[in-house]
Structure 1
Amino acid sequence: MIASLVRAVSSCVALAALSIASIAFAGDVSFGQSQLCGLQTARPDSNAAVQVKTLQGRNGPIGYARFGHGPPLLLITGYRATLGEWNAYFLGELAKHHEVIVFDNRGIGRSTPVAGHYGPDYGMRDMAADAADVLAGLKLARADVIGWSMGGMIAQQLALDAPGHVESLTLIATAPPGPEAVPLTPAVQQVLSSSGADAFPKIMSALFPADAVADASKCFIGDMFAPRGYKGRPVPDAVAQQQNNAMTQWFANTPAADAMRRSPVRTLIIAGANDDILADTNARHLEQMIPRATLDVVAHAGHALMFQYPIELARHIDAFVAK
């Protein structure tokens, strides 16, 4: 949500140990002190060999990066976000045990056709098809899939349309389809769509709990994944509007909600207890909806959990995937 808006700075806070509760996958968990700001641990973009490439999807080019070793993990990012808006330390921790694949959603970053647009209308199903094209283009039959925010909606649609390609599903700070969801408020939507000099502090205040905003504002950009030669382009208004439309349709998609109630995919749902963008009520609806779902609500966490707790969140997901 931020890369196209600002470029900024850095500072530091310590690493917390993985709590016993975080391995239990039951109810509320705590990851301890926020880990915002330039951790002294591996980040994949420090390796010059990690670069963004493109593959050809059914509807145009798709920009992606892959790194690490082990079972594949496909990460799907959120509204107006490029692949650069994953926390680099979160990705580095995941890459210790997995081949990590991140990519730009349709119309974002390197996933932009020469003509500059993908046609008049597309929704979650189309963006899920793009995710499936990434797997096919990299010749991966199956992958564990992680979706954050709007990316969690795309991930759910991918699990519905191609369950044979989804080994497990991890849904971070997202919402179910259908009328039981609690959508973004118009005020929040306006903040996330904002641009200009005052956009960055507004977005930081939406993404993080109040007492984490100062550190986040110092360190968010410096902790973003920044592979050599990759620059996130400004998100066209038409693409942002198309993503808005896709989410509006998602919150009215009763057939998808019915289908999720029959999903065979093992699912971990992770929510922030202080998420002001997509309330943790959404996570509780998801837990009730998906048959093989487990919910963890993270104490003192906002919408951008992977920036607050990059190491602990990655380890928590890795423990789930490995079960």
Structure 2
Amino acid sequence: MTAVQANGIAIEYEDTGPRDAPVILLIMGLGMQLVAWPNSFCEGLAARGFRVVRFDNRDAGLSSRMPSVGRLATRTMMMRAFFGLPVRSPYTLDDMAADTVGLLDALAISKAHVVGASMGGMIAQILAIEHPERVKSLTSIMSTSGDRALPGPKGKVLRALIRPRPRSESMAIRRMIEFFRLIGGSRYPPTEAELQAKVARSVRRSYRPDGLTRQLLAIQTAPSRVRALRRVKAPTLVLHGSEDPLIPMAGGENTAANIPGSRLRIVPGMGHFLPETLVPLLVDEIAGHCLEAEDAAQCRVARAAGALP
């Protein structure tokens, strides 16, 4: 892994697969690091003929930590945001989308298949809306359009999400494991060994509870993307679990309903987690979607050159 300067901050990233292959850019969700994308998932996409780039969002992992405004001010902003009152977030999802464009620029990648999970799906949607020339295809996983009328997290999930973050490493590991058990879904539950290994690796690599809160503020203060999504031209796949208690299935359905020509794939029994047992399905769906987009783009080029009727 290595870092580049992008949009004025340091972005840590990892590159897998042939450098001359079509690029799949992976954008992770709230408080999560690039290591939350299973290695087997990245290797599976690379084996299908793609260069896979994953990275730490700002305020997560080994990318730049953003300035703190203090615990009391942050807590006040969170309360105002949850009650729908005006809040000036330290940064926005648009800023995070600009980070992503900066990463593409730094790596000299002109266009990519953009795949985002949860908050990463929101950022990916903004990329497809505001920077269509950089997006070959869009895949939005367990995410939402930001429509305020949609159902939110289940009560116990919301309470677990906003409770104060522990400062000790051992307590952080325990709390994260409890949270992932809560949101995992019935058909693809992670094993205890998988949870222990993934969470311990993540916390020991980097633990930034204050960064997660600032990212949550960026989500809470983001405007609805419903109208803007209707301008998306990139071929779009929307993946969502039927048992997602954090971003309910209606979020994926609404996203797909507002992106012209998109394909919605509801996965029965999937929650808000990417366990190893789900990797083969995800690789098949996403690689297939990206390959279809590559073929369609080649046909358009051939028609423009007069090689096809």
| Distance (whole Å) between structure 2 residues aligned to residue 118 and residue 319 of structure 1 | 42
Match of 1:117 among 52, 67, 70: 67
Q: Does the Cα contact within 8 Å between 1:306 and 1:313 map onto a contact in 2? A: no
Q: Secondary structure at the match of 1:170?
A: strand
- Indicate the residue corresponding to 2:178 in structure 1: 202
| Distance (whole Å) between structure 1 residues aligned to residue 201 and residue 53 of structure 2 | 14
Q: For each residue in 1:55-83, what CA deviation from the matched residue of structure 2 results, as whole angstroms up to 9, or x when unmatched?
A: 00123100001011221000000011011
Pairing 1:59–2:8 present: yes
- Judging by fraction of residues, say which structure has more helix: 2
**Aligned CA distance change for structure 1 residues 91 and 306 (closer, same or farther; 3 Å):** farther
Q: Does the Cα contact within 8 Å between 1:84 and 1:225 map onto a contact in 2? A: no
Map 1:32-51; keep pairs closer than 5 Å. Answer: none
* TM norm structure 2: 0.78
Q: Does the Cα contact within 8 Å between 2:12 and 2:63 map onto a contact in 1? A: yes
Q: Does the Cα contact within 8 Å between 2:145 and 2:255 map onto a contact in 1? A: yes
TM superposition shift of 1:304: 1.2
CA RMSD of aligned residues (A): 2.5
**Aligned CA distance change for structure 1 residues 74 and 202 (closer, same or farther; 3 Å):** same
Amino acid at match of 2:107: L
- Indicate the residue corresponding to 1:49 in structure 2: none
**Aligned CA distance change for structure 1 residues 221 and 202 (closer, same or farther; 3 Å):** closer
Q: For each residue in 1:127-150, what CA deviation from the matched residue of structure 2 results, as whole angstroms up to 9, or x when unmatched?
A: 000111111000000000000011
Q: For each residue in 1:114-135, what CA deviation from the matched residue of structure 2 results, as whole angstroms up to 9, or x when unmatched?
A: xx53887101100000111111
TM superposition shift of 1:185: 4.5
Q: Secondary structure at the match of 1:286?
A: helix
TM superposition shift of 1:201: 3.7
Map 1:1-323; keep pairs closer than 5 Å. Answer: 52-69=1-18, 70-96=21-47, 97-112=49-64, 117=67, 121-185=90-154, 187-192=156-161, 194-195=165-166, 196=171, 198-210=174-186, 212-213=188-189, 215-222=190-197, 232-237=205-210, 239-250=211-222, 253-254=223-224, 256-323=225-292
| Distance (whole Å) between structure 2 residues aligned to residue 91 and residue 221 of structure 1 | 20
Q: Does the Cα contact within 8 Å between 1:150 and 1:247 map onto a contact in 2? A: yes
Q: Secondary structure at the match of 1:117?
A: coil
Amino acid at match of 1:248: Q
Q: For each residue in 1:263-321, what CA deviation from the matched residue of structure 2 results, as whole angstroms up to 9, or x when unmatched?
A: 11211000011111111111111111111211000112111145331122112110111
Identical residues among aligned pairs (%): 27
Q: Does the Cα contact within 8 Å between 1:208 and 1:216 map onto a contact in 2? A: no
> Which structure is larger by alpha-carbon Rg, 1 or 2?
2
Q: Secondary structure at the match of 1:309?
A: helix
Q: Secondary structure at the match of 2:214?
A: helix
Q: For each residue in 1:171-211, what CA deviation from the matched residue of structure 2 results, as whole angstroms up to 9, or x when unmatched?
A: 11111123243333453233245542641342122231246
| Distance (whole Å) between structure 1 residues aligned to residue 187 and residue 133 of structure 2 | 42
| Distance (whole Å) between structure 1 residues aligned to residue 130 and residue 112 of structure 2 | 14
Question: Which structure is richer in relative contact order (CA contacts within 8 A, separation 6 or more)?
Answer: 1
| Distance (whole Å) between structure 1 residues aligned to residue 36 and residue 195 of structure 2 | 9
**Aligned CA distance change for structure 1 residues 184 and 260 (closer, same or farther; 3 Å):** same
Work out the number of aligned pairs and report it.
263
| Distance (whole Å) between structure 1 residues aligned to residue 204 and residue 51 of structure 2 | 23
Q: Does the Cα contact within 8 Å between 2:144 and 2:251 map onto a contact in 1? A: yes
| Distance (whole Å) between structure 1 residues aligned to residue 200 and residue 176 of structure 2 | 18
Amino acid at match of 1:153: M
TM superposition shift of 1:224: 8.1
Q: Secondary structure at the match of 2:253?
A: helix
| Distance (whole Å) between structure 2 residues aligned to residue 125 and residue 74 of structure 1 | 17
Unpaired runs of at least 5, structure 1: 1-51
Q: Secondary structure at the match of 1:269?
A: strand
| Distance (whole Å) between structure 2 residues aligned to residue 243 and residue 55 of structure 1 | 21
